[in-house]
C-alpha cells in the first residue's frame, strides 16, 4: 500500500545553509509521527515544504502517491493537508468564528459577485460552512469566545483556535508545529489527550513537531529525529530515545 | 458539502445539533446595540430623503458630491481596510470612470445611467490588470507604484494625440440630466436621488461582500497572507480581484462625479484627489463601511470650512482641522463611535 505521505531525499538550502539534506521517511495513514530535533534542525523547514511555502532543491514529496511539488500552496488543503504554525499565524483582527470559517474556505464555492449579491445558493453554502465551524468550536470548547476578536485572547486559547482552524480544513494529514510551545504543564497534558482524541475520532494522521519530549513519547507511534538537516534516527519512541546519535545531538546543543 | 457529514460521522453525533451562540449584545438605555444600529440606519435614510427638500440647490449639489466621494472612499476601503493593500492611485480610477462616462455621453449620446455599469467594468478590468504586477509589491512600495499612477493620469488625459476623445486641457462638458417622467424635482434634486439610489445599492453590496466567504478571505489576507494561503485562499487571485472591485467602486463614483459636476477636466483628477480620498478613508475609519460616509463628508466639507475660516491660510486651517480630528479620533469616526458605545454599554451594566 502506498503510504499517505512519502518524503523522498528532500534537500533545502538557504544560501550556504543546508536546512535539509536528503531527508526521507514514510508516514502511514492513521499513524502519529513525531518529528524531533534541536533548534535549527530543519523541522519547520520540512513543514514549509509540505505546505509548499518552500520548494526543495532536490527530492520529492508524495501525498497519496502523487507529487505535491507541482501544486500551488493554496491547493494543499484540497488534497488534504492542514497545518498549524510554530509562532501562531492567526487572523488577528477577525473573530474566532471567522478564523475557523476561513479554514473551511475550500469546501465552498463563491465569488465576489455572488457574495456581494448574497445569492440564495451562497446562503446555503454559508450555512454548511457555519455547520463545520460551529461543530469545531463545540469540539474544542471555544463557545465562550466564538465572537471575540482573536487578538484579545490569551495565548493558550489562541493555540486552540489555530487547531480548530486547521481541523476545519478537514485534513487527512495534520501538521502540528510545536503545539505545546508556551503552554504550562497542565495545558500540555490536556493537549496530549486532545491530540489523541483528534486522531481517533476524526481519522486524521498527525505529524507532530515538538520539543516537549514527554508529549512526543506519550502520543507518538513513531519518531523521526533530525539534526543539522539530516535524519539521524527513525523508530519507536523508546528506540529513538535510546539512540546515541539523538542523545549526542541534544547534549551537543545543551552544551 | 461533503465535509459536514464526515464531521458528524467522526464525532459520532446523530444530528448536527451544535449550539450556536449569537454574539453578546451590548444594551444601552434598554435597547440592544443591533436595534440601535437599525434605528440609526432608519434615521439616516429619513434625513437623506428629506434633506433635498429643505436646503438650497447648491448645498444639495455639495451633498451629492460628498456621497460620490464616500463611494470612492468605500472603494479604497475595500482595498486598504479589508485587504491590506495601499493605494495612492485611486484618483486615476476615479478619472477613468469619469472620462468613460463623459466620453460616452459626449461622443455617443449615451444616457448618463448607462455610463455607470460601463465605467464600472472598465475600472474593474483596469484595476485587476494593475493589481497583477502590484502583487509583487508590499505596503509602502505598493503605495509608491500607485502614486505613479496618480501622477500619470492627468498628463495622459492632456496628451494631445488623445485630445479628440479627452478634450485635452479643456476636458469635456456634460449636460446635466433633468428629472425624468415629469417628476417635480430640480436637476440637482434629481441627481441627488439618483446618486443616493446607486450608492445605496453599492453600499449594501459592500456590506454583503465583507461579511461573506469572499470577504473573510480578503480579511484573512490582510491579517496574515501566508496563513490565508495555507488555509486554501488563492492569495494572488483574491488580491488582484480586490484591486479590481475597489477600482470598480471608485470608477462608478467617478462616473457619477462627472454627471454631478457637469464636466470633467484633467486637473480635477490630480494626486490631490488621491490624498483627499486617503484622508477621508483614515478620518472615517479604516475598515469601517459606515465610516466612509463620514469620510466623504469630511473630504468635501473640510476644505470648504477651512476656506471660510481664512481665505489666505485655508491650507493651514485645513491642516489644523485634520490634526484635531486625528487627535480626537485616532481610529477615525468609526473608532470614536465604537469607543462611545462600549463606554455607554459599560456604564449601563
Ligand atoms: N527562510 C529562511 N531563510 C534563511 N534561512 C532559513 C529560513 N528558514 C529556515 N532557515 C534556516 O534553516 C535552518 C533550519 O530552520 P528550521 O526553522 O527549520 O528549524 P527548526 O528545526 O524548526 O528549529 P526550532 O526548533 O528552533 O523551531 C536554520 O538554520 C534556519 O536558520
Ligand atoms: Mg521550528
pLDDT tens figures, B156-201: 877 777 777 777 778 788 888 877 887 788 888 999 999 999 999 9
- Give phi and psi for B28, each to the nearest 5: -125, 125
Q: How far is the CA of A42 from the centre of ligand 1 (A)?
A: 6
What is the pLDDT averaged over residues A178-191?
Answer: 88
Mean pLDDT of B273-280: 92
- Residue B169 zone, left/alpha/beta (φ > 0; ψ -120 to 50; rest): alpha
Contact B45, B245 (CB under 8 A): no
Average pLDDT of chain B is: 86
Q: Positive or negative CA dihedral for B344, B345, B346, B348?
A: positive
Residue A41 beta carbon below 6 angstroms from any ligand 1 atom: yes
Q: Is B33 exposed, middle or buried (0-12, 13-18, 19+ CB in 10 A)?
A: middle
Whose alpha carbon is nearest atom 5 of ligand 1?
A14
Lowest mean pLDDT among A177-186, B172-181, B254-263: B172-181
Report which secondary-structure segment, H or E, holds A81.
Answer: strand A81-83
Above 50 in pLDDT, residue A195?
yes
3-state secondary structure of A12: strand
Backbone angles phi, psi at B265, to 5 degrees: -150, 145
Lowest mean pLDDT among B14-18, B107-111, B329-333: B14-18
Residues of A in contact with B231 (CB under 8 A): 77, 102-103, 105-106, 165, 169
Q: Which uninterrupted H or E stretch holds A26?
A: strand A17-27
> How do beta strands A32-36 and A58-63 pair?
unpaired
Q: Calculate mean pLDDT across residues B8-28.
A: 61
The pLDDT value recorded for residue B6 is 41
Atom 31 in ligand 1: which residue has the minimum CA distance? A40
Contacts of A101 in chain B (CB under 8 A): 213, 216
Q: How confident is the model at residue B348 (pLDDT cuts 50, 70, 90)?
A: low
Which uninterrupted H or E stretch holds B89?
none
Sheet holding A32-36: strands in order across? A81-83, A173-177, A205-209, A32-36, A222-227, A230-235
| A59 CA to centre of own chain | 21
So what's the pLDDT on residue B15?
47
Say whether pLDDT at A187 is over 90. Answer: no
The closest ligand to the CA of A42 turns out to be 1
Listed residue (A224, A246, A243) closest to A27, CA to CA: A224
Which residue's CA lies nearest to atom 8 of ligand 1?
A: A45
Q: Which residues pair with A11 in a beta bridge?
A: A58
The residue ranges of DSSP E strands in B202-277, in sequence order, are 263-264
Q: B228 vs A102: CB contact, 8 Å cut-off?
A: yes
d(Cα A216, Cα A251) in Å, to the nearest integer? 18
Cα-to-chain-centroid distance, residue B311:
30
The average confidence (pLDDT) of chain A is 91
- Mean pLDDT of the A167-190 span: 91
Instruction: Give the pLDDT band (50/70/90) at residue B17.
Output: low
Is the distance from the beta carbon of residue A23 to the nearest atom of ligand 1 less than 6 Å? no
Name the interface residues of B facing A (CB cutoff 8 Å).
1-4, 6-8, 10-12, 16, 18-21, 23-24, 205-206, 208-209, 212-217, 219-220, 222-224, 226-235, 241, 245, 287
Residue B2 — very low, low, confident or very high, per pLDDT cuts 50/70/90? very low
Alpha-carbon distance A174 to nearest alpha carbon in chain B (angstroms): 12
Residues with CB under 5 A from ligand 2 (ion): A 43-44, 86
Task: Give me the mean pLDDT over the B286-301 stretch.
Answer: 92
Determine the pLDDT at residue B313.
86
The residue in chain B having the minimum alpha-carbon distance to the alpha carbon of residue A147 is B23
Dihedrals phi, psi of A51, to nearest 5 degrees: -105, 15
| Chain B positions in Cβ-Cβ contact with residue A106 (cut-off 8 Å) | 231-232
Residue B346 has what pLDDT? 75
pLDDT at B133: 83
pLDDT of residue B10: 42
- Residue B232 near residue B174 (C-beta atoms within 8 A): no
- Centre of ligand 2 to C-alpha A155, Å, is 18
Q: Count residue pairs from A and B with Cβ separation < 8 A.
A: 147
pTM beyond cutoff 0.95? no
Predicted pLDDT of residue B347: 72
CB B257 within 8 A of CB B90: no
DSSP state of B268: G
Domains of chain B (ranges; CATH) run 56-347 (1.10.3470)
Between the CA of A10 and the centroid of ligand 1 the distance, in Å, is 15
How far is residue A238's CA from residue B163's CA, in Å, rounded to a whole number? 81
Chain segment A112-148, per-residue pLDDT in tens: 999 999 998 988 888 889 999 999 999 999 999 999 9
Question: Does ligand 1 have an atom closer than 6 angstroms to the CB of A224?
Answer: no
d(CA B47, CA B73): 21
Q: For residue A54, what is the nearest residue in chain B, using CA coordinates?
A: B226
pLDDT of residue A253: 53
Amino acid at each position: 500500500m502506498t503510504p499517505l505521505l512519502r518524503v523522498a531525499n528532500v534537500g533545502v538550502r538557504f544560501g550556504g545553509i543546508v536546512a535539509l539534506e536528503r531527508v526521507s521517511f514514510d508516514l502511514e495513514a492513521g499513524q502519529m509521527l513525531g518529528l524531533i530535533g534541536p533548534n535549527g534542525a530543519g523541522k519547520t523547514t520540512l513543514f514549509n515544504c509540505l505546505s509548499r511555502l518552500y520548494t526543495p532543491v532536490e527530492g520529492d514529496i508524495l501525498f497519496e502517491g502523487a507529487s505535491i511539488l507541482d501544486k500551488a500552496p493554496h491547493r494543499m488543503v484540497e488534497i488534504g493537508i492542514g497545518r498549524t504554525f510554530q509562532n501562531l499565524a492567526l487572523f488577528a483582527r477577525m473573530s474566532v468564528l471567522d478564523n475557523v470559517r476561513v479554514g473551511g474556505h475550500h469546501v465552498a464555492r463563491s465569488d465576489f459577485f455572488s457574495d456581494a449579491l448574497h445569492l440564495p445558493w451562497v446562503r446555503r453554502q454559508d450555512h454548511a460552512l457555519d455547520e463545520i465551524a460551529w461543530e469545531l468550536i463545540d469540539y474544542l470548547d471555544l463557545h465562550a469566545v466564538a465572537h471575540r476578536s482573536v487578538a484579545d485572547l490569551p495565548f493558550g486559547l489562541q493555540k486552540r483556535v489555530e487547531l480548530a482552524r486547521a481541523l476545519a480544513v478537514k485534513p487527512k494529514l495534520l501538521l502540528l508545529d510545536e503545539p505545546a510551545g508556551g503552554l504550562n504543564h497542565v495545558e500540555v497534558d490536556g493537549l496530549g489527550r486532545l491530540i489523541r482524541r483528534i486522531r481517533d475520532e476524526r481519522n486524521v494522521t498527525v505529524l507532530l513537531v515538538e520539543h516537549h519530549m514527554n508529549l512526543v513519547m506519550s502520543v507518538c507511534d513513531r519518531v523521526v529525529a533530525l539534526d543539522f538537516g539530516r535524519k539521524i534516527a527513525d523508530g519507536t519512541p523508546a528506540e529513538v530515545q535510546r539512540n546515541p546519535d539523538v542523545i549526542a545531538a541534544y547534549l551537543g546543543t545543551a552544551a | 458539502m461533503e465535509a459536514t457529514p464526515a464531521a458528524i460521522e467522526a464525532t459520532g453525533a446523530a444530528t448536527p445539533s451544535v449550539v450556536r451562540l449569537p454574539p453578546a449584545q451590548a444594551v444601552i438605555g434598554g435597547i440592544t446595540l443591533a436595534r440601535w444600529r437599525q434605528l440609526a440606519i432608519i434615521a439616516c435614510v429619513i434625513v437623506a430623503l428629506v434633506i433635498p427638500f429643505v436646503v438650497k440647490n447648491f448645498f444639495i449639489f455639495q451633498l451629492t458630491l460628498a456621497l460620490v466621494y464616500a463611494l470612492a472612499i468605500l472603494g479604497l476601503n475595500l482595498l486598504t481596510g479589508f485587504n491590506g493593500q495601499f493605494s495612492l492611485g485611486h484618483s486615476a480610477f476615479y478619472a477613468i470612470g469619469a472620462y468613460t462616462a463623459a466620453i460616452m455621453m459626449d461622443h455617443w449620446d449615451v444616457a448618463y445611467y448607462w455610463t455607470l455599469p460601463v465605467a464600472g467594468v472598465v475600472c474593474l478590468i483596469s484595476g485587476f490588470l494593475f493589481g497583477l504586477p502590484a502583487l509583487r509589491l508590499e505596503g509602502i512600495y505598493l503605495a509608491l507604484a500607485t502614486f505613479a499612477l496618480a501622477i500619470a493620469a492627468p498628463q495622459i488625459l492632456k496628451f494631445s494625440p488623445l485630445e479628440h476623445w479627452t478634450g485635452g486641457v479643456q476636458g469635456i462638458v456634460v449636460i446635466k440630466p433633468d428629472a425624468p417622467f415629469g417628476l417635480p424635482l430640480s436637476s440637482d434634486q434629481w441627481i441627488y436621488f439618483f446618486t443616493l439610489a446607486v450608492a445605496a445599492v453599492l453600499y449594501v453590496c459592500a456590506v454583503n461582500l465583507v461579511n461573506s466567504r469572499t470577504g473573510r478571505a480578503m480579511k484573512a489576507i490582510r491579517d496574515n497572507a501566508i496563513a490565508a494561503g495555507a488555509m486554501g485562499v488563492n492569495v494572488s487571485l483574491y488580491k488582484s480581484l480586490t484591486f479590481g472591485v475597489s477600482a470598480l467602486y471608485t470608477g462608478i463614483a467617478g462616473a457619477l462625479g462627472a454627471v454631478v459636476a457637469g464636466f470633467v477636466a484633467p486637473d480635477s483628477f490630480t494626486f490631490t484627489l488621491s490624498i483627499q480620498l486617503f484622508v477621508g478613508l483614515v478620518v472615517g475609519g479604516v475598515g469601517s463601511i459606515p465610516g466612509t460616509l463620514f469620510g466623504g463628508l469630511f473630504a468635501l466639507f473640510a476644505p470648504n470650512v477651512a476656506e471660510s475660516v481664512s481665505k489666505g491660510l485655508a491650507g493651514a486651517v485645513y491642516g489644523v482641522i485634520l490634526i484635531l480630528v486625528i487627535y480626537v479620533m485616532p481610529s477615525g469616526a468609526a473608532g470614536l463611535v465604537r469607543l462611545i458605545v462600549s463606554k455607554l454599554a459599560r456604564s449601563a451594566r
